[in-house]
Structure 1
Amino acid sequence: MKKILAAFLLSSVLVLSACSEEETIYDEIKDKGVLTVATSGTLIAASYYDDADQLTGFDVEVAREVANRLDLDVAFEIMSVDGMLPAVETGRVDLAANDFSVTENRKEAFTFSEPYKYSYSTMVVRESDYSGIYALEDLEGKINGGGATTISSEIARHFGAEVETYGNASNEAYLRDVSIGRTDVVVNDYYLIKFGVAAFPDFDIMMHPDLKFHPTEQALVMKKDETELEAAVNEALEAMRDDGTLSEIAIEFYGEDASEPTEAEVEIIEGLDI
């Protein structure tokens, strides 16, 4: 009986020891010395390739600075927006940085950092005829260009629009399709639309002058319950906010301090399940 009890106690100690030594994702990241980040490389002002073919953008540079402050290198994985959250969930990447909005449904499945950008939604329409959209209800029956799983596409669907989905396409593809009438509208973030439209002055497009809706907060996305990584990332973001780095990066890419809450009057959409 004593031998059985001793064996049981020994096995319990071994199990507890193994559990205590189990590495977290953040432990593994520190061991490798590399933070792996999913991003698109196709989202002007947030994640794109510049004229020197270097990956940059607001979200990219925020992620770079976070890694730097954690004394880590950063490796970006380029993929479509629809593939990023599954990549975080399966552990293929450590973070996703691509203008992801924090929503209640997403918070059930993922951990988010503290917000580093505050914005709202608007839309790209044809300058010549507003694409026939003068109110959100006019989206019914229109064709919206967007990713299959984005919040912007969910808003378009909420008002009865059909969503034309793309792979990891560039801003040019989305905006050209509105201009030539292949689609009617692109619902998206104010800052992204502002710079996307400005990049293609020859297109028959504009940012809708009247419609501002669905205030948003953007953050880095991590695997659910990775509290150690979350705490480290938030500490870095807080330091960036306190010393003005976050504001500097925002102004560099958006011409405005998107790291502070917007003062625009923004319509709240009722009944939006996101």
Structure 2
Amino acid sequence: MRKGLLTILILFLSVVLIACGSEGDSKWGELQEEGELVVGTSGTLFPTSYYPEGSDELTGYDVEIMREVAKRLDLELSFEEYGVDGLFSSIESGRVDMVINDMEITNSRQENYTFSEPYKYSYSTMIVREDDLSGIESLEDIEGKKHGGGATTVFAQIAEHFGAEIKSYGNVANDIYLRDVANGRTDLVINDYYLQSLALKALPEIEVQLHPDLQFHPTNSGIVMPGDADELKEKVDEVLNEMREDGTLTELSKEFFGGQDASKEPEKEVEEIEGLDL
């Protein structure tokens, strides 16, 4: 009798251990079973996730990285588009499996989500009016100014840290942000150096510029996954490392960032922001 109970107990514990062992890998197993990867992105962020003029084909640095990752993981790929402020909630709700949209890896975000290794390194800059730099000579001068951008972004957190008022938008294209600075509805837009420099190049008629003296907050961007997707992260990181070693990341970066390699850390000296809790 005791031997029979012991056997049942051992079998029960084995089942529990198997279940616990597979729980952390459930996302990767789910994707393998379904054979499809659903990824959230904005579709309005040039040059990482956007539609070229006259085209209905989504492309960009992030988009093409994701296509290559899915291909190497042997998964079909589809994109779902959301405003920047809705991308994290799309993971939480299960509407998407991952998000890629130049998402900075921060300590607070890592408490709730799993990030891949960085596929992009950069730093933050600031778009201001051409004629007077929006009255901004230092980061401290942001206080009381109006900052345009998504309310949940790191860039908005930086602006708030220095006392700016945040004007948030829906899923709008870059020209809306820039025109609002030019016409005085807002005073500045803090964002990624590569994205802002190329946006200005694409829209030279708008009377704004990058602030010539302010380069700050070194950044790195990763693919966002659910918080318990440890094995999925391992698989994605393996692919990204392969793409780094075989030159794919460099090739894609130069294609979309005007010949610049954003897959490597910049050599430029960039100011760290003290007291900013991300």
2:233 matched to which residue of 1? Answer: 230
2:92 matched to which residue of 1? Answer: 89
* Unmatched segments (≥5 aa) in structure 1: none
The aligned amino acid for 2:275 is G
The aligned amino acid for 2:269 is E
2:193 matched to which residue of 1? Answer: 190
The aligned amino acid for 2:33 is D
Tell me the distance in 2 between the aligned counterparts of 1:76 and 1:155. Answer: 29
Tell me the distance in 2 between the aligned counterparts of 1:21 and 1:219. Answer: 25
2:68 matched to which residue of 1? Answer: 65
Tell me the distance in 2 between the aligned counterparts of 1:5 and 1:118. Answer: 56
> Percent identity at matched positions?
54
Q: How does 1:80-119 map to 2 (within 5 A)?
A: 80-119=83-122
TM-score normalised by length of structure 1: 0.94
Tell me the distance in 2 between the aligned counterparts of 1:267 and 1:14. Answer: 53
Worse overlay, 9-18 or 125-134 = 9-18
CA displacement 1:3-58 (0-9 Å, x = unmatched): 77676566555555555666610111111111111100000101101132210111
1:46 matched to which residue of 2? Answer: 48
1:270 matched to which residue of 2? Answer: 274
Q: What SS does structure 2 have at the residue aligned with 1:77?
A: strand
Tell me the distance in 1 between the aligned counterparts of 2:218 and 2:13. Answer: 51
2:28 matched to which residue of 1? Answer: 26
Residue of 241, 259, 265 corresponding to 2:263:
259
Tell me the distance in 2 between the aligned counterparts of 1:10 and 1:252. Answer: 56
| Closer, same or farther: CA 140–250 of 1 in aligned 2, 3 Å | same
TM-score normalised by length of structure 2: 0.93
2:132 matched to which residue of 1? Answer: 129
Tell me the distance in 2 between the aligned counterparts of 1:164 and 1:109. Answer: 26
Q: How does 1:149-164 map to 2 (within 5 A)?
A: 149-164=152-167
Cα distance, 1:83 vs. partner?
A: 1.1
2:223 matched to which residue of 1? Answer: 220
Tell me the distance in 2 between the aligned counterparts of 1:60 and 1:217. Answer: 17
Tell me the distance in 1 between the aligned counterparts of 2:107 and 2:11. Answer: 45
Cα distance, 1:68 vs. partner?
A: 0.8
CA displacement 1:166-217 (0-9 Å, x = unmatched): 1111111111111111111100000110111112111111111111000001
Q: What SS does structure 2 have at the residue aligned with 1:263?
A: coil
Worse overlay, 259-268 or 12-21 = 12-21
2:180 matched to which residue of 1? Answer: 177
Cα distance, 1:225 vs. partner?
A: 2.9
| Count of paired positions | 274
Cα distance, 1:90 vs. partner?
A: 3.2
Q: What SS does structure 1 have at the residue aligned with 2:50?
A: strand
* Unmatched segments (≥5 aa) in structure 2: none
Tell me the distance in 2 between the aligned counterparts of 1:5 and 1:235. Answer: 42
